[in-house]
Structures are given as structure tokens and as C-alpha cells.
Structure 1
Amino acid sequence: VRLLQKLVQNFFIAANTMSQWAGVTALKEAAPDVQRMVSIYDKRRKLMIQRLRKIGFGIAVEPVGAFYVLANAKKFTNDSLKFAFKLLEETGVGTAPGINFGSNAEGYIRFSYANSIENISEGMDRIERYLKGS
């Protein structure tokens, strides 16, 4: 059994050599696609930040390494969990309550810009209409 275990573990512990070389080739060839996606995500990020600020959310630190914006929503709420659920119920836009990231993030809402420009614009429109009406 031990000899079989030694043999089989090599199939599961690490990728085989052929897969590793295929990965290296894929990464080398992917540079243009990576740059294209970086540009697309940057446009999405800029749009979301601009729209959130226009609506009235505070953004002290602009993201540079992720596709999330942590926005200060204290102008609108002191309970990020209830606020996130209310946004979902009233606008259909999913967000993450700051409290999920610790007590220091209470009053903040995390938005994702891992979506199309069109969907981000639509989501921001819905949130803006809801908050102006409430």
C-alpha cells in the first residue's frame, strides 16, 4: 500500500511537468490579454468611483489591486448590514456590508466592479434613484 501511495501522491501533490510547461507558455502568451483586462477594469473602477462619489458615498482610498470599492455610507446609514440588504431588496444591486470585514468597517459598503460598464452604470442608476427617493 505504501508503494502505491508514493506513486499516486505524485498525481495529486503537484502539477505534472507537461502541465507546468503548458502553464508557462500560456502565461507568456497571455500578456496582451492581461493588459487588455487591466485597461477594462481600470475604466470600470474609475466609473464606479465617480458615480459613487456623485451619489454621496465617501471614498478615502481608491483601490489599485482588487475589483472592489469600499465606500463610506455613513451619510446614509449607521447599520451597514441592514443597508446592504435594503439596497438588494429595493434596487436589486448586491453589495457587501462593511461589518462583514470587521467592526472598523461598520458604516461602509463594499461594491464590486467585476461586471460590465453597462451593468455598473445601471446599478449606480438604481442606487441613485433609490437614495434620492428615500
Structure 2
Amino acid sequence: MRPAEVIQQNFFLCANHFVQVAGTVALLEAQGDVARMRERYDERRRFLVPALRDIGLEIAVEPTGAFYVFADASAWGADSLALSGRLLEEAGVAVAPGIDFGPGGEGFLRFSYATSLDRLHDGVDRLRDWAQHA
């Protein structure tokens, strides 16, 4: 069942063709908008990376080209799938388990910062509370 879940997730996590075409048009014709979006993502990254480190997660490589942070959460539990389920149920925070990205991802969690800064603050607060009481 788990292999089918991983395949299914990737059908919905990737941009479909018309979105990719729109992205190409944006890159070619809307550089001002793209620059503003990149600034917003950078602001979110500059908040999230140190915030995750402050609550005990290790981040060896800071993202430079995506809106995801891949954090070593092995101090919180070795089973990334089980841990991601606990975080969703107990803290109300959705993350992707590292095992979804191959055996080398076990113990890691992937966090997205493709949301508002307010939601990121709320999510980090929930994670901090969870980590203090887990």
C-alpha cells in the first residue's frame, strides 16, 4: 500500500502541463511579478530556516531554488512517516516524510514555505509547543 501512496502523492504534487506553460510565460513576460514572488519566498525562507533550527531541527543545506526545507528530525523520531503523522494529528502541522524521497531521507521532514508568513509563524508555534510536550 505504501508504494501506491508515494506514487499517488507525486501525481498531485507536480505541476500539470498548462501550469508549466503559464510558468514559462511568467518567466518570459512578467519578470517584475517573478521578482516580487522571489522576494516573498526569500522572506519566508529567512524566517523558517532559523525558526526550525531554534526548535531543535538540523538543516545542513539551506534552500536556494525551491520553497522547501529538508530538515533532519531524527532527534524527534527515526520513523519519518510515523513522525509526520503524529505532527499532523497532534500539532496540526502537515509535512512530507523524508522516506518519500528515498531511503536516505529517513529521519528527515520536508517543510514547505509556499504559504503566508502568518501561517508559517503559526505552524512553527505549534511545532514548538508539540516539541516541548512530546
TM range (shorter): 0.7 to 0.9
CA gap of 1:31–1:81, structure 2 versus 1, over 3 A, is same
The change in CA–CA distance for 1:128 and 1:26 in structure 2 (over 3 A counts) is closer
Residues 27 and 34 of structure 2 are in contact (CA less than 8 Å); yes or no, is this contact kept in structure 1?
no
Q: Percent identity?
A: 47
Q: Which runs of 5+ in 1 are unaligned?
A: 1-19
Gaps of 5+ in 2: 1-20
Correspondence 1:1-134 to 2 at 5 A: 27-28=28-29, 30-134=30-134
Aligned residue pairs, count: 112
Change beyond 3 A, Cα 1:79–1:35 = same
Deviation at 1:27, TM superposition (A): 3.1
TM-score, scaled to structure 2: 0.79
**After TM superposition, where is structure 1 displaced by more than 4 Å over at least 4 residues in a row?**
23-26
1:77 match: secondary structure: coil
TM-score by length of 1: 0.79
Structure having the higher Rg: 1
What is the distance in 2 between the residues matched to 1:25 and 1:41? 16
C-alpha distance 36-102 of structure 1, shift in aligned 2 (>3 A): same
C-alpha distance in 2 between matches for 1:93 and 1:33: 29
